[in-house]
Amino acid sequence: MKETKNEFSRFNTSCIQFNDAAGSHYLPSSMPMKMLLHQTLAFAVAGSLCAAEPAASSGLRLDLLSPLDYQVVQRATRTEGNLIIAGAILSNSKETPPADALEVLVSGKSNFGNLSAQWQPLPFDARVAAFRAEIPLPAGGWYRVSVRALRDGAPVASTGIEHVGVGEIFVVAGQSNCGNYGEERQTTVTGLVAAFDGAAWRPANDPQPGAGGNKGSFIPSFGDAMAARFHVPIGIVAMGIGSTSVREWLPPRAPISRLPTITRNVAAVGTNQWEALGKIFDRFTTRLKGLGPFGFRAVLWHQGESDANQADPQRTLPGDDYRRDLERLIGDSRRAIGWQAPWFVAQASYHSPQDPASPEIRAAQKAVWDAGVALPGPDTDALTGDMREKNGAGVHLSAKGLAEHGRLWAAKVGPWLERQLDAAQHCIRWSSSWLHQVGKLNPDGRGGKNGKSENKEDMYGHLWDTTVADQEPVGNPTAPIWSRDFRQNFKARRLDEI
């Protein structure tokens, strides 16, 4: 990459030139170096991401960095979400006249609203190669996203992404029975389930990217059940790691009371004293942070077998210690990502027909629910007999068991999600009526109870208190998780609309 003092044909701006397989391209040198490096690396692989085709006669090429093919974005309400459109317009020559406009068209069908049949303008500045916009879309998909650059009203470069959805995203974490260790690979039947490995999206057919193992998982079954119920695409971020103890998932330097059976993720710090290395925790929270604040609906945790009834009793984790470690993992991961992400915790401790459950671990998992730290997941210890591999003799699940495992998760998550969506919609319906009937909205964007002016946050805080806060009974252990999160999310997304 080299700097050149030549100019874009119509602007007095120095440029930086770089080459890729498609030729030479020019970016303004006024862009921050971090962005320049990011864009340079991204453009080198952009052709594999969005199949952009340069317009030979125009000398311009349009590359998209967002969205990606098969990407699902987390919806904000039952009916709507926001999609980021980002990329750059690249020139094959410094003499090429720049584009003067940028437009997007999203096509497809939705059960929750109509898509515009017209091209919509995107933010554009011909002096800057990169662009970014956030557009509202109705929940649904798959959509086709088309972007085009124009010069004097005529298209000079275009590209498109064939599969983009606005729906629900779930993070799946734990050990082998939430990874790719089932007896047979599964595929999505609806075609509306996609998986994300941290870099790319693809249809969620086994093996799931980002998770351990190379065989089958419950994820296609779960995703299909959720897609059929909610009529939106389902995104999955899978991170099941085989044979891991909850102790191995703890943050760096967290103390460990007993060694796990596998010790690759812990360190000795004294005589019979150990601590977590934090490698898994750091990878896990990095994946979560990459989705952004409120960028997924919930974490689905399925783990416990590697803490229950170990061959060496000194490696078995007592129930009280399991609860403490899991609650620390949940709390510290929430702090790391900066918001109160909901968690579901399954009851999982099965080893074999001779060792079908650990009462201690099961009680610890239930105690996490009862404390309001997590929501109840399915009881997969009940999946016995032909639900298990090797004609019922193994610890992992058969094809029949994987399908049932997914349905069990959907039966737990689905009703909870319905309540979240209903609560969000309830707030939005009441916002307009409350502001106009009670708040007496003023021309300056302020209003208040009984005609007294209040700031926006106070107004929405009151709106929350009078419409949503009492939908969950006092003392319900799920309320501390979802209500705090929802109030923060609701106010953050709605204050700018007054």
Q: What is the pLDDT along the chain (498 residues), one digit of tens a residue?
A: 433 333 223 223 333 333 343 343 433 333 333 333 343 333 334 334 454 554 446 799 999 999 999 999 999 999 999 999 999 999 988 889 999 999 999 999 899 999 999 999 999 999 999 999 999 999 999 999 999 999 999 999 999 999 999 999 999 999 999 999 999 999 999 999 999 999 999 999 999 999 999 999 999 999 999 999 999 999 999 999 999 999 999 999 999 999 999 999 999 999 999 999 999 999 999 999 999 999 999 999 999 999 999 999 999 999 999 999 999 999 999 999 999 999 999 999 999 999 999 999 999 999 999 999 999 999 999 999 999 999 999 999 999 999 999 999 999 999 999 999 998 877 766 555 544 554 444 444 444 444 444 444 444 444 444 333 333 332 333 333 334 444 444 444 433 333
* Domain at 2-165, CATH from 2.60.40.10, 1.10.10.10, 3.30.2130.10, 1.50.10.10: 2.60.40.10
Q: Which helix (H) or strand (E) holds 155?
A: strand 154-174
Residue 26 and residue 93: Cα distance in Å, rounded? 7
Q: What is the length of the chain?
A: 498
Note the Cα 460 to chain centre separation in Å.
27
Instruction: Give the residue from 120, 172, 127, 183 showing the smallest Cα distance to 147.
Output: 120
| Residue 2 CB neighbour total at 10 angstroms | 8
**245-265 per-position pLDDT tens digit:** 999 999 999 999 999 999 999
Give the CA distances from residue 396 to residues 25, 42, 300, 350, 450, in Å, rounded to whole numbers and listed in that order.
52, 39, 18, 9, 62
Residue 31 φ/ψ, nearest 5 degrees: -65, 145
CATH code of the domain occupying 166-415: 3.40.50.1110
- Is the separation of the CB atoms in 385 and 165 below 8 Å? no
Measured between its terminal Cα atoms, the distance across the chain in Å is 47
Contacts of residue 159, Cβ cutoff 8 Å, sequence gap at least 6? 50, 51, 52, 53, 62, 63, 64, 87, 146, 147, 148
| Residue 154 CB neighbour total at 10 angstroms | 9
Q: Which helix (H) or strand (E) holds 62?
A: strand 60-66
Instruction: Give the residue from 85, 83, 72, 84 showing the smallest Cα distance to 148.
Output: 85
Tokens of 28: 């303004």
Instruction: Give the residue from 50, 261, 235 showing the smallest Cα distance to 157.
Output: 50
pTM of the predicted model, to two decimals? 0.80
- Is the separation of the CB atoms in 395 and 183 below 8 Å? no
| Residue 362 CB neighbour total at 10 angstroms | 19
Instruction: Give the residue from 123, 143, 121 showing the smallest Cα distance to 67.
Output: 143
Residue 47 φ/ψ, nearest 5 degrees: -60, -35
**Gyration radius of the chain over CA positions:** 26
Q: What one-letter code names the amino acid at 389?
A: E
Instruction: Give the residue from 251, 338, 308, 300 showing the smallest Cα distance to 414.
Output: 300
Q: What is the pLDDT, as a whole number, of residue 18?
A: 38
Residue ranges of domains in the chain: 2-165, 166-415, 438-497
Tokens of 264: 């690759």
- Is the separation of the CB atoms in 427 and 413 below 8 Å? no
H helices present in 338-444, as ranges: 359-370, 389-392, 399-437
Residue 264 φ/ψ, nearest 5 degrees: -70, -15
